[in-house]
Structure 1
Amino acid sequence: MNVVLRPATAADADTVTDIMLASRKKFLAYAPMAHSEREVRGWVRYLLLPRESVTLAVADDRIAGFLSLDKGDRLTWLTQLYLAPDYVGCGIGSQLLTHALTLASKPVRLHCFQQNQDARRFYERHGFVAVRFSDGSGNEERCPDVLYELT
């Protein structure tokens, strides 16, 4: 499968949101959405895309997934990594992550739900280490999570 990575633009907002919502519905059904679909669409369009570095993976002439980074001076947060459900397991997440890590200032941190075992294994395969577990009281979904770090 030929995958092309490119920066996201404002024109991609609806597709990015669709991927996020479809992926959450399929893989994160245990984590209630803290916002309505309309609010998520506005957040992607007016906050995520303008403020973070968002990279798209395009496969088969369609956007298959995306990753976003919030880059600071001393560290980088990987804030979002979602794939369209049909593209999970095809290596696209690894391509996105490998590319993003070339752009990131280390350490790189991310949060992942404890219950999301597939994502946890994915990040651990790529060298991330769990540094803190929480009861979820600090996230909007109120689901226990893990703070991961790559140094």
Structure 2
Amino acid sequence: MTPQPFLLAENAGIPNNPRLAACLYPAALAGQSAVQIRAHLQERDWTGTWRGVIYDYHHYHSHAHEVLVVLSGSAQVILGGEGSSELTVGEGDVLLLPAGVGHCSPSHSPDFEVLGAYAGGREWDICTPQDTDLAWARGRIAEVPDWAQEPV
């Protein structure tokens, strides 16, 4: 499956990732249960799964690559920081977010839920433009190894 890439420049206190594009894999895991999706991701070394929603404020992870799989509903998602790329995601869509890529969901349907995971068993953090030193974040992002396998 060919993903839709989003190569994002630093923007409004969000470093994004200078080497790796965020990617949308439309409906890549549609029709699969949360249990099936979790097993699929674990086989590809995406672990630390959780279920919930995407925060409604701009944030990023400086120490882990993240994948988000939409289990149900739909949402507006902004990638890359304020005023950047906005897209609509729905059931089965997969978002691959390299370390440093800003993301938030300003609105979503009442039934919206994602399953999230992180590449290579990495620990995640929450960084926001207003609370995180950009130079520090850039250094941590540069240390994150590439994923062993794409999530899809």
TM-score range, shorter chain: under 0.3
TM-score of the pair, normalised by structure 2:
0.26
Q: Say which structure is richer in helix.
A: 1
